Structure 1
Amino acid sequence: MDGPVVRFTHPILASAVYSMASPKQRRAMHRQIASTQLDIEERARHLALAATSRDEETIRALDEAAENASTRGAAAAAADLLELALKLGAHDVSRMIRAAAHHYDAGDPMRARDLLEEAIDKLPPGELRAEALRLLARERIYDDSYQAAAPLLERALADAGTDLLRVQIEIDLSFVLFNLGRLEDALSSSERMVKDAERLADTALIAQALALAASIRFMAGMGLDEPTLKRALALESRVHSGPIALTPSLMASLIWMWSGRLDQADIGLEALHRECLEKGAENDLVFLGFQREALACWRGDLASATQVANDSYERALQLGTELPLAIALSAKAHAAAFRGDVAEARKEAEASFEILQRGTLATVALAPLGTLGFIELSVDDYQAAATRLAPMAAGAIAVGLREPSIVPFAPNAAEALIAVGKLDEATVLVDWLEDHGRRLDRAWALAAGGRCRSLLLAAAGELEASIRCCKLALAQHDRIEMPFERGRTMLVLGRLQRRRGTRREAKTSLEAALDAFTITGTRLWAEKAQRELARLGIRRGKGGELTPSEHRIAQLAANGQTNRQVAAAMLISPKTVEANLARVYQKLDIRSRAELGRRMAEKQLRIPTP
């Protein structure tokens, strides 16, 4: 006993006593507890558990408690409180719609759909039905199909009476039109959306409209509108509702990623990840995981990419809906393809596409197909890669996409086409990469386009020109930290130098390629570099002592520090860290930081004297 309070020595005892009580006794207990000093949400729960039917005091308390929970960002708690009201008979359609919105935000789209479909069936045309249709469209975006969402939004727009709701619907519709590949319609809709939003005093809505319009223009190749994006971020509300894909912070992070500001993008995505964890926004965490995995691969951090993909997959399984599962499978396949785990990558990419092809998410469905094409390129099946990737790249260009980085499979398609002798088709893609890369000053597009141009020149017999072109591509790689992509260009340069007969230069280039592939853990590409070195009659041996600096760098990396952190500690550049780690991996015959950590923990490596 603790004064008048009975405290049980174990929670199971409390549960047992509660279960043994009669329903009448339980209600009396909840009623008594509700009369004590409790916070608004706990009091409302006890009032609901004490009631057997609808009474206005209890329903009012539940509504107020749900609003309180929503304000503090607890969507699941808000949904539970409104469900208690519904169970007591308070089946007002407005309450059903609010409950659905909270279920959606909490990661339960199936319950949200059930409530919304029931509410829409009961409602006449008008503002409330327009809101229900908009929410149902959002649920379809995350679960089924953008094609299903579009007519729902068009119906909602016809029903909407207020300017505020019309703008909210226009934002969602612009987003859907773009993802259906209807770029011109999306551009037109986004212009109207911004004008309508500017007439309102809702700053959060204006921020969303501005950010989405900037994103659509960016993807259409109109460049990065810094002032608009900056204004959107300044106006953004930190309490997000609806799909995370429509939040200014995410749209800005993706634009930074696609424009080559990888560090800035990483900071933005990690901040959003923390916010979603705090809110318990499981749907959003899966979508974020898809973007974070891709960024980690671009930055050459396959360990992080694999972890993020696996975490997203576990969350998707718990959600139990198809689209999050397809997105998570796509991320897992992408990471596995980079690691060189061919069977796993193929299985998961095919499973992802099988789900996505049942819907109409044109942009998302390209990801697993792009991964399948990359696998074929990695195993030197150029015909299969060209068959898979060339139509995708041509289609992306045909719908009006003019931002190279959102068509990341275009260089892979060009390389495969060159390998199978389809030089005219490849030239179209290479011209597109280089033209828009120059116009928008995109380092990745200029580097990858330059590599492909080098391959085209070599195929035409212009060996010296191809080598010069490859070296120019490497200058573009210096502007962006994408070690795997740099390794690919070094591999091409080494092959060309071998053909020219400059073996010493070829050896240097191929060893640099091997270092890049080793440090990033891209096994199949490391094997390509090793085969090229073998053709020179040069084999890099394993083993050997670590130098003092290699040992220090290996120890810091094994302790979990990033390349940048190691570089700061050692007063060297991140590129020097990468090169040293590549040599460490080679000497220790390992492929990943996880293996490095185990090796450093298993035994104290002998530190040679300087």
Structure 2
Amino acid sequence: MTEPMTAGPALPPLWLDEMHRWSHAQPMAMSTETQLFGRDEVILQLVGVLEQVERNGVAVGLTGEPGMGKTLVQAHVSELARAAGFAVLSARGSQRETHLPYANLHQLLTPILATVDELPPRQRDSLLACFGAVEVEEVNPFFTSLGVLELIVRTANDKPVLISLDDLHWMDQPTLDTLAFVARRIEPERVVLLCTSRSQEPLLGDDQTMTWIELEGLSSETAETLLRSRSPELATPLRERVIAESGGNPLALVEFVKALQTGTYAWSELDRALPMTDRLERAFTARADTLGPAARAVVDVAALDDGDDIRQLVTAASLLAGSTVGVDAVSGAVELGLLTVDGSTYALSHPLMGSAVRRAMTQGRRMEGHAALATTLAAFPERALWHRAGAVSGRDESIAAELERAADSARRRGAFATALARLERSAALSPDPQDQASRLLSAAELGYELGRFGHVEQIKSRVLRMTLRPRDRSRLTWLEGAFHDGATSEPADVRHLVRLARTANDDDDTDLAMQLLFGAARRVWWRDPGESVRHEIIGAAREVPLRSDDPRLLAVFGLAESLELSAAVLAQLDHWPVDLGGRLELAAPLGIAAFCSGDFVRADSFLTLAINQLRGEGRLSLLAEALAIRAWAEINLGVFDAGRSADEGMRLSTETGQKVWAGTAGLALAVIDAVAGRWQGRHWSLVKAEQIALQLPNASSSLLAGAQLARGIAELGSNRPEPAYGELVRVFRPSDPAHQRVQQLWTISYLAEAAVSTNRREHARPLLAAVEELTAGSSAVGAEIALEYTRAVLSDDDTAEGLFLAAMAGAGSPFPWHQARTQLAYGSWLRRQRRVTESREPLRAARTAFDALGTKPWALRADHELRATGERGWEPAPNSLEELSPQEAQIAQLASQGLSNREIAQRLFLSHRTVGSHLYRIFPKLGITSRQQLAEILIGATAVDAVLNHPQSSD
């Protein structure tokens, strides 16, 4: 069998024994490390995780209140892993460095950065630019993340990797974003990610990504053993009081005793009414209060510093103290256990020590400390700027402007989260309230790009109370609906957007005007605010001085009046060549315009151009949206291939925090499963989509209508036409939350199919007439397919045959699903007319097509009709492709086209090893051993390309 994946060398046969020897060398309860007392069970649990690394990668987090020993447990496990042959990559978060973009990522990757030149150029340059090693025009964070994944996976080819991340909650946000990308993709790799954090916040993903282990307090017996080993002279009453008040917290056990023994820490400060963090900070403060002025200057600067260079520390401390600070001052802080020194670098002994010292400083002292650091760090402009900002007491426009420029620099490097933090600091220092509001809005727009709903809402609530310039007022209004993707569709809100767009147009701000109108039109799509509002949007759009075929204009027309302006939009789309003359940036709005107007073939063509461009640029948020829309274009053409758009669209939407698009793609997956007969009970993606719709400020009728369509098709596939009709008819009831104008057109043919089986033709015909009136004779392929089929199946017997023949020769004829549905309906009608012999040909054709498409319920229904004519002996054709998951099918398709594992990995934002793992599973499922056989088995297995490349696509 051809091996599609290259695995790294296995660990030495005795590595497990070596690990167990390390972990059981002495009873953990008797360890000399304070916070390892009583941690035998959790260490053995983590050893078990390491033992599984050859089977699958995993991400594990240790959580618990400060002082529980998370860091020491992690360090101990890291040593066990290193002794067992792991490559250990480590990084530690620091509250002082959270504003430094990619600082922790650089710390993590330093041991393996020497191999960075082996990465593809775009990944290499994007990653190095984050560290300031090369200059590029703009950093793409997703190429950075993919480069990091590749570096780690390359290392894992030689030996398993442990990624050790301490104090995750203090890591800079760009690093966290990158590591979250990696954590979601390590399952098939020889990689274990072990982190520590104070809480189980989803910093690296949800519960499906991370497994959390909470460290709890030591038992009374273990606590007493610990105290006896560290302070054997401690009097029994004092020892019992400390044990009782510490709650078993190992750090508290030791620090309370030290603080009490100094005489500067009172019994009252052990009071449990105080949070443990406060009590520990007071213990550290008590120790720091015993220092002399020079040593205290060292500790104060260390608490504010965002670096670890001891020379910089001493220089800044000398400026703060007003006299030269010597090595003895540093030694004094080290002797008291407040600092640790390793060669030319230093660290705080515990993160709580830093926060304790900062809280103990007066504002003046903190400002003096920041000023000393700003002077010391003059050779590091961005670090110095941050400290200069901390050294001012009031507002300062010059520093605010510098921070704004630094934010722009960070954004170009892909450090969007750092840019956001700098903009907020810039706003805080802005003397002009309107400048402050403008900078806050810029921060909110970055938050929107990052998918941070809560953060954006906080900024918006502040800006709402401020005086805004007209343009900023428009930006705020756009942000009001941007995060919900048009869900807030109250007529007054939409009209307000239109008024702002008109104002922007009057000010010759065309881009802002179209941005606002696009937002208004998108709200119409998600929930119709009424005819008069739609007309206002169209009227305002026509006032903007743009060419009649401008893609932005066509997208607004398509979204706002998809049915009424369908013919006009399609006529303008004819002006654009299939390849758009190389202007690929126009593909997305043109694809939206075509989709909303019902030209699903052209929508697929334009969206495919957009998807290829967005994929190449690594713009995953927009890529996810385009994939979700294309998935529905495919469904409306009868192409049910989850691996082509829907599955990836849902995964990327979830990853980028776009709930609405995740729901949209998830509904497409539900429909695909429904037609294939794979839907049993409640479909998970449909339930999730409905939850998303109902959580929005206004329930999205578009999502709810899609859910009803999925349910109706599933009921039809289960041969339950009665409930199918009940599900589908909800889309047509104006009072129903699932009512949606455009999706009535998508739904009408399935409603008609259910109506025939439940003798509801008379009930369904008025609904057909209403849809025909809405479409107003549209020539869009989607409208023609739906209406030709529906007219035929709902017709009287005296006109049915002509309409069936017209439908089979009409717009649906190039599309196997739609043609087969018409053939099934026609053959069934012929049989009911007792024209048994004539019925067999269309029924056989339908059965063959449904079988080839993998839509088994409809194939079985066609076979049932054929058996009623006297035919026997048919069995569904086996299809090994059905054994593949959507992602496996996508990888198989790309591999069959000749792409290498690395090329597939770059396209799908995976590691090449993950692609190899998938192929390793794909080959046996398909009963093949080579890529050549893969290409052979996939030829003709799907009609997707034939359908979507029909000549109509270039009409």
Tell me if TM exceeds 0.5: yes
Task: Measure the CA separation in 1 of the matches of 2:820 and 2:477.
Answer: 47
Taking the aligned partners of 1:208 and 1:599, their CA distance within structure 2 comes to 49
Q: Structure 2 vs 1, CA of residues 502 and 476 (structure 1 numbering), >3 Å: closer, same or farther?
A: same
Structure 1, residues 270-297: CA drift from partner, whole Å, max 9, x if none? 2333444466655544433321222233
2:72 — aligned with what? none
Bigger relative CO (Cα 8 Å, ≥ 6 apart): 2
Q: Deviation of residue 52 (structure 1)?
A: 4.0
Residues 498 and 536 of structure 1 are in contact (CA less than 8 Å); yes or no, is this contact kept in structure 2? Answer: yes
1:537 pairs with 2:875: no
- Shift of the 396–455 alpha-carbon distance from structure 1 to 2, 3 Å rule, reads farther
Worse-superposed segment, 410-419 or 48-57: 48-57
Match of 2:590 in 1: 252
| Structure-2 separation of matches of 1:62 and 1:467 | 74
Q: Is residue 2:804 matched to residue 1:466?
A: no
Q: How does 1:389-538 map to 2 (within 5 A)?
A: 389-393=728-732, 395=734, 407-432=745-770, 439-457=777-795, 460-462=796-798, 465-477=799-811, 481-538=814-871
Q: Which residue of 2 aligns with 1:310?
A: 647
**In structure 2, what is the Cα distance between the partners aligned to 1:216 and 1:521?**
36
The equivalences for 1:71-220 within 5 A come to 77-87=415-425, 89-90=428-429, 92-121=436-465, 123-124=466-467, 126-127=469-470, 130-142=473-485, 145-147=488-490, 150=493, 153=496, 157=500, 163=507, 164=509, 168-177=515-524, 179-198=526-545, 208-213=552-557, 215-220=559-564
2:231 matched to which residue of 1? none
Residue pair 2:498, 2:517 contacting (<8 A) in 1 also: no
Deviations 1:397-456 (A, max 9, x none): 9x99987x7620011122323332233222223345567778223444444433333333
Q: With structure 2 as the length reference, what TM-score do the two structures score?
A: 0.47
Residue 314 of structure 1 aligns to a residue whose secondary structure is helix
**1:64 and 2:408 are equivalent in the alignment:** no
| Alignment partners' CA distance in 2, 1:159 and 1:450 | 41
- Superposed CA RMSD: 5.1
Q: Is the 8 A contact 2:621 2:656 kept in 1?
A: yes
1:368-383 aligned at under 5 Å gives the runs 368-383=707-722
What is the CA–CA distance in structure 1 between the aligned matches of 2:707 and 2:500, rounded to whole Å? 33
What are the within-5 Å matches in structure 2 for residues 216-231 of structure 1?
216-221=560-565, 223-226=567-570, 228-229=572-573
Contact 2:631 2:668 in 1 (8 A): yes
3-state SS of 1:537 partner? coil
Contact 1:143/1:321 (<8 A) preserved: no
SS in 2 for 1:224: helix
Superposed CA deviations along residues 58-85 of structure 1, whole A, max 9, x for unmatched, are 6544423444566x6x7x5345224134
Q: What is the count of residue pairs matched by the alignment?
A: 535
Deviates more, 1:427-436 or 1:153-162: 153-162
Equivalent residue number for residue 337 of structure 1:
674
Counterpart residue number, 1:365:
704
Q: Residues of 2 paired with 1:451 and 1:250: CA distance?
A: 30
Q: Cα 1:596–1:375, aligned 2, differ >3 Å: closer, same or farther? A: farther
Identity %: 18
Q: Contact 1:487–1:516 at 8 Å: present in 2 too? A: yes
Separation of aligned partners in 1, 2:398 and 2:165: 28
1:143: Cα distance to partner? 8.1
Q: TM-score normalised to the size of structure 1?
A: 0.71
Q: How far is 1:185 from its partner? A: 2.4
Q: Which amino acid aligns with 2:715?
A: E
Inter-CA distance 141–415: structure 2 relative to 1 (3 Å threshold): same
How many Å apart are 1:489 and its aligned residue?
Answer: 0.8
1:554 is matched with: none
Paired residue type of 1:193:
A
Structure 2 unaligned segments of length 5 or more: list them: 1-106, 114-161, 172-300, 314-372, 431-435, 880-889, 898-921, 938-955
TM-aligned CA deviation for residue 502 of structure 1: 4.5
Q: Cα deviations across residues 166-198 of structure 1 (Å, max 9, x unaligned)? A: 665455334434543134224422243224422
Q: Counterpart of 1:63 in structure 2: which amino acid?
A: E
Which one-letter code corresponds to 1:412 in the other structure? Y
1:599/1:49 Cα in 2 relative to 1: closer, same or farther (>3 Å)? farther
Q: How far apart are the structure 2 equivalents of 1:85 and 1:169?
A: 23
The 1:423/1:536 distance shift into structure 2, 3 A limit, reads closer
Return the letter of the residue paired with 2:927. Answer: R
Q: Secondary structure at the match of 1:212?
A: helix
Superposed displacement of residue 495, structure 1: 1.7
Return the offset for 1:159.
12
- How far 1:597 moved relative to its partner? 7.5
Kindly tell me: are residues 130 and 205 of structure 1, through their superposed partners in 2, closer, same or farther at Cα, counting changes over 3 Å? farther
Closer/same/farther in 2, CA of residues 539 and 561 from structure 1, 3 Å limit: farther
Displacement, 1:387? 1.9
CA distance in 2, matches of 1:155, 1:262: 28
Deviates more, 1:349-358 or 1:83-92: 83-92
SS of equivalent to 1:137? helix
Report the CA distance between 1:599 and its aligned residue.
3.5
Shift of the alpha carbon at 1:491?
Answer: 0.9
Rounded to whole Å, the distance in 2 between the matches of 1:237 and 1:116 is: 39
Aligned-residue offset at 1:119: 1.9
SS at match of 1:409: helix
- CA distance in 2 between counterparts of 1:357 and 1:14 reads 40
The higher radius of gyration belongs to: 2
Contact 1:106 1:281 in 2 (8 A): no
1:152 to partner: Cα distance: 9.4
Amino acid in structure 2 at the alignment position of 1:516 = A
Whole-Å Cα distance in 2 between the matches of residues 544 and 351 of structure 1?
33
Can you list the C-alpha shifts for 1:583-609, whole angstroms capped at 9, x where unaligned?
A: xxxxxxxxxxx79981344998999xx
Question: Residue 595 of structure 2 contacts residue 633 of structure 2 at CA under 8 Å; is this kept in 1?
Answer: yes
- Which residue is equivalent to 1:577? none
CA distance in 1, matches of 2:772, 2:895: 32
The separation in 2 between residues aligned to 1:545 and 1:215, in whole angstroms, is 42
Higher helix proportion, which one?
1
Separation in 1, partners of 2:559, 2:654: 30
SS where residue 467 of structure 2 aligns? coil
What's the CA shift for 1:93? 2.1
Q: Does 1:599 align with 2:940?
A: no
Aligned twin of 1:244: none
Secondary structure of 2:777's match? helix
Cα distance change, pair 321–117 in 1 and its aligned pair in 2 (3 A): farther
